[in-house]
Chains A and B, each alone.
Chain A
Amino acid sequence: MTTARGPAPADGRPWPWLVPAVLFLAAFYAVPVVDVVRLAFSDATLIRAPERWSTDALRALMRDPALREVLVTTVVFTAVNVVALQAMGLLITLTLVRGEARGLRGMTAFRTLVLAAWVVPGIANGLIWQILFDEAPYGTLNSLLGFAGLGPVAWLSDPDMALASAVIANLWQGTAFSMIVFYAARRGIDPTLYEVAAIDGASPWRTFRSVTLPLLRTAIAVNTVLVAVQTLNTFDAILALTGGGPGRATEVLSLFTFNTVFYNLDLAGGSVLALILFLLAMVMATLVFGWLGRER
């Protein structure tokens, strides 16, 4: 995108303008990340400064059977969320856009409802769904299922179900983000393409496959990375919903890192895990910006 170039600015030196932002980024991001690397190769605990430098923390972690379990949970949870949030976000976007084009009422109200879930604090999200998933006979979802003659479902006490429940809670809160990205991208599509498709007598499915989907490719790529990063990085909803349990069934990497540092006080081990989180996020950032760079 090129902006209009006015006469050359009186002084083109950006530094005075960038100093505050750069100072904060350095103090709160660059230096801590360097320190995480340093601590990962130390024997530091949360209450003791590093004394020796080694790869012991890394090796201890590799031997830890919990790590495998946590990584599998993380990959499954992230992958399912990436697919589910986008499928839901896309469905909502396309339905909303159709409704708006037809001038149907209630579209803004529906969009507002989805966005309202988005701003619910993660902790409150976890607590709310914990109440909904209550497995007692009077628990919300189980008593509703009871009316239909179904259930009860062990929403949070069955390990596999607990992970599915965590996905449901995340879907409720996270869909709005995908919806915004898709909505913006869908509105960026030239409407004449749809007019041409209509004149050609293309079916809705055909139009979706041949016009909408290809033109949303960039949005899908961007969304995939952003949803994946967001899912990797946040755990407050899971912490409030299941605390990572039962067992380690819902303990994702970020929650595992948090527990390692702040409950087991293992700063070196936690730093290795934080480093893994950081590298995963950076790989994905490179992917998305690389993709955008090529598309331009």
Chain B
Amino acid sequence: MPKDFLKHAKDEYDVIVIGSGLAGLTAANMLGRGGLSVLLLEQHYKLGGMATWFRRSGGHIFDVSLHGFPVGMIKSCRRYWNSEIADSIVQLKGIRFDNPMFSLTTTFNREDFTRLLTGQFNVPAENIAAFFDAARAMNFYDDQRTTTGELFEKHFPGREDVIRLLMEPITYANGSTLEDPAVSYGIVFSNFMSKGVYTFVGGTDRLIGLMTGELERSGVDVCIRSDVEKIIVQRGRVRGVQVGSRTIKARAVVSNSNLVTTIFQLVGEEHFDRDFIDEARAVRLNNSSCQVYMAFKPGVMIDESQGDLLFSSTAPLFRTEALLSRDITSRTFSFYYPRTRPGTDRCMVVSSTNARHEDWADLPEEEYEASKRDLVKTTLDALEKYIPNAREIIVHAEASTPRTFQHYTRHAQGASFGTKFEGLAVSRALPQQITGLLHAGSVGIIMSGWLGAINYGVIVANDVESLLMKDELCPAKKS
């Protein structure tokens, strides 16, 4: 008999949350804290979604997406989680760039960017101030016709080097491109680049462990290995979910599954208006990623002058197309030192590259394995520029591809940053289509990344509480 992971689940809840990415976890925690009965269902055997890690023999622990997040995480974790989580967030001060246009190290805040741009890049201080102010003044409901490329052209005409400095990290952080609306860049930029890059001491496993403890205190029931097949909708209202052999009732369902998957697979298009379905079909997914995970010999310390994040590229110019190409010229190396994982005796480095699902999806098995080996080899070659004896001191190296991301997260096309900008409007409009159905997850850049996902979870938890309170005030509507 397979183990029944749903055995402790009741037959009925106020709210069911599907998926335990940071948005799902946070929504579940807020709702549980608010006194509602909440069931969190996760298809994988670990909570966290893309906020994840894995272990390999020899005691290696690799973080998959803990590359750095904005300072706002401290406030959000303190409020929506607890002070132990918030107090474990520390700044990463060594952010490096190395490409044919420039090489530099920055603390990644407004003061330091201004110093670099006026000094090394010879940009007048007033242009820099105007750019920072324009980015900061942006709202998500602003004009979406201006692209990020046009925004740069306005403030730094002809300065491809400046664009690269200001854009490359954001592209790696959330997949946004020069062709996306400028607001999506501006909001992330002002969040992210004005006050530095931060990380979580103890690694993703510790964070998710602390969050799991907090969920328990909030009274949330959690079931892993519980893959929801259907969200049950009757007469325009959500009724519950079908999971394994169980039907579990709920007054509201929050899907932290990919937006497109939620609409077309979990609910089914027959439950939505034609126009809404057309809009949902037009939502573009963001790209996926390739990563190479490398562990150094126990006790061998990498000099911290390597930095924490290294945006490395051999491409002469910064181009979206080049970033996505399988002919990899740009990589972000995340260096992990024992200071951010106290108690360990080794350094790790994870190389990340944006990638397209379609470039990997249909490779025959043999070619796929060969391509992965090649990815490891070329990544080690690239790393040797910075750590010449890398091959002698690295004891474990392996690659992941868009197929890996798809396998573990079940995201359509292995998308590692949710959907493009238009996904936000579709996500927000879901409850108008089906009462009691909400979506929280990476949509439209600004709700992506660690902080965006947590905050979106809070926003949606607030919507659910409002909805359920309205129900109680007008009980006639309840059934």
Question: Are A and B genuine complex partners?
Answer: no
